[in-house]
Each structure stands twice: as structure tokens, then as C-alpha cells.
């Protein structure tokens, strides 16, 4: 099973920001897809942008719930 990485939409809605990669602990950014299209934002499996910690398999993006 792939690790899960919580992410948030960037302010302009074009990127998904992983504040803490589950593999290396660093911040990564992934494209969010096109606002207004079906399936936006595009979540699911992504290849990690790091090579440490066995990151070759990547992780699954999960949108973080907004703080209340």
C-alpha cells in the first residue's frame, strides 16, 4: 500500500502543496488540474519528487480538511 500525503490547494488553485512529504519530510508541489473541470482537483497517486527514503513508488494525495 502506498503512503498517503496530505495536501492543500495553492492560493491560485493551480497546485497541490504537500507540506511534509511522507518519504523525505520536504515540501513538494503537484499540478492540481484545471479549475472548473470534472475531477478537479486531481488527487490520487503521484510520483514523489524526492529520491530518498525509497520514494520511487510515490504516494497518494489526499486533500487536507480545512481548519475550523
Give 52's pLDDT tier (boundaries 50, 70, 90). low
Please state the φ and ψ torsions of residue 18, each to the nearest 5 degrees.
Answer: -95, 105
How many other CB atoms are there within 10 angstroms of residue 47's CB atom?
Answer: 12
pLDDT tens, position by position, 6-15: 999 999 999 9
pTM to 2 decimal places: 0.83
- Per mean pLDDT, which range of 1-10, 18-27, 38-47, 58-67 is the poorest? 58-67
Q: Average pLDDT, stretch 43-53? A: 80
Q: Judge whether residue 62 has pLDDT over 90.
A: yes
Q: Judge whether residue 49 has pLDDT over 90.
A: no
Domain residue spans in the chain? 1-32
Quick check: helix, strand or coil at residue 22?
coil
Amino acid at each position: 500500500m502506498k503512503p498517503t500525503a496530505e495536501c492543500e490547494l495553492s492560493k491560485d488553485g493551480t497546485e497541490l502543496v504537500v507540506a511534509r512529504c511522507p518519504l523525505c519530510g520536504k515540501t513538494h508541489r503537484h499540478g492540481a488540474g484545471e479549475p472548473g473541470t470534472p475531477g478537479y482537483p486531481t488527487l490520487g497517486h503521484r510520483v514523489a519528487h524526492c529520491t530518498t527514503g525509497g520514494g520511487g513508488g510515490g504516494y497518494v494525495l489526499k486533500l487536507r480538511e480545512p481548519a475550523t
